[in-house]
Copies of this chain bind each other. A is one copy, B any other.
């Protein structure tokens, strides 16, 4: 297999302070499709062009943030193999039974040194994108309902010990380093962007003293014109925009950062390059981190390094 192992980010469970307010945001403003609610009250959503049952799960809680981030792997054998590889590497894992998340098989969960819970799974029901698999149209009405991203794309997590986190993702899970920012010493990583695919990032980490923090979950748009449309829709709905539309130097994507009503930052972005594992990683120096993060402003805004959930 040319693509094997870990395929892609498959779901994120987010905590929101008020469930219906959160559902309104993710379904009606961001424009995800609600696909189910479970007995514990969690709400399941997916981007219109995703095929699997859900990619975002909302849980009401007293504090915003991320519960876990899950990756779909190729098949059952891969799941078993990666579980053993993690354990052999010294990472404790646990199995969560099938059905704990709606329409989803057994998951292997493990904590990483940055304080986040990561999951692997291989089964989730294919509910399609609203078009048949025979002679489909290229898009549907749903693709214009709210911001309407194509997919959950990646997340950026904040926490300590990101060099250990990187090693787990690279050495055990088969990711590769695409870009990184080094600190004043020219060596220590401030931030790493990691890919298990041709995406410039499937997950990214920034060094941060507090463990388990979420900087943002990210959703993919189809064009720079859709980025403008997203910013307009945010303004029409009084969504709090952090920055954008602008471009990242790192990964080259065009982007908006904004906050959901609970204070979880999310990104709607487009573009950037596609990468391969034989490519040399790109390095950003401490002096140019501003340009790397926000290519047009060329300085970090005060919130980028401090506001997380």
Give residues in A with beta carbon < 8 Å to B. 1-8, 49, 51, 72, 74, 126, 133-139, 144, 150, 173-176, 196-199, 222-225, 228, 231-232, 234-236, 241, 244-247, 249, 252, 254, 256, 271, 273-274, 276-285, 288, 291-292, 295-298
Q: How far is the CA of A241 from the CA of B296 in the complex (A)?
A: 7
Nearest opposing residue in chain B for A1, CB measure = B174
Q: Which residues of B contact A285 (CB under 8 A)?
A: 134-135
Nearest opposing residue in chain B for A276, CB measure = B7
Are B282 and A134 within 8 A (Cβ)? Answer: yes
Are B277 and A74 within 8 A (Cβ)? Answer: yes
Report which of B1, B224, B256, B276 forms a contact with A224, defined as CB distance below 8 A: B224
Are B228 and A224 within 8 A (Cβ)? Answer: yes
Report which of B133, B244, B277, B279 forms a contact with A51, defined as CB distance below 8 A: B279
Q: Which residues of B contact A291 (CB under 8 A)?
A: 135, 235
Q: How far is the CA of A152 from the CA of B2 in the complex (A)?
A: 18
Report which of B236, B271, B297 forms a contact with A222, defined as CB distance below 8 A: B271
Copies of this chain present in the complex amount to 4
Q: Which residues of B contact A1 (CB under 8 A)?
A: 4-5, 174, 277
A12 to chain B, nearest CB (A): 18
Are A3 and B223 within 8 A (Cβ)? Answer: no
Nearest opposing residue in chain B for A139, CB measure = B232
Report which of B3, B133, B136, B245 forms a contact with A246, defined as CB distance below 8 A: B245
Nearest opposing residue in chain B for A253, CB measure = B138
Q: Which residues of B contact A133 (CB under 8 A)?
A: 280-283
Q: Which residues of B contact A144 (CB under 8 A)?
A: 144
Q: How far is the CA of A252 from the CA of B138 in the complex (A)?
A: 6
A57 to chain B, nearest CB (A): 20
Q: Which residues of B contact A135 (CB under 8 A)?
A: 249, 283-285, 288, 291-292
Are B138 and A247 within 8 A (Cβ)? Answer: yes
Q: Which residues of B contact A283 (CB under 8 A)?
A: 133-135
Q: How far is the CA of A134 from the CA of B182 in the complex (A)?
A: 11
Q: A137-B232, A228-B247 are in contact. List 6 more A-B contacts (CB 8 A).
A: A2-B5, A3-B176, A133-B282, A138-B249, A232-B296, A245-B245
Nearest opposing residue in chain B for A273, CB measure = B49
Are A241 and B280 within 8 A (Cβ)? Answer: no
Q: Which residues of B contact A8 (CB under 8 A)?
A: 276
Q: Which residues of B contact A271 (CB under 8 A)?
A: 222
Nearest opposing residue in chain B for A280, CB measure = B133
Q: How far is the CA of A228 from the CA of B224 in the complex (A)?
A: 8
Nearest opposing residue in chain B for A198, CB measure = B198
Are B138 and A2 within 8 A (Cβ)? Answer: no
Q: Which residues of B contact A5 (CB under 8 A)?
A: 1-2, 4
Pick 23 A–B contacts, CB within 8 A, sort by A.
A2-B173, A2-B175, A2-B197, A3-B3, A3-B4, A3-B197, A4-B5, A4-B277, A72-B278, A74-B278, A134-B285, A135-B288, A138-B249, A138-B252, A139-B232, A139-B252, A150-B273, A198-B199, A235-B291, A235-B295, A235-B298, A241-B297, A256-B296
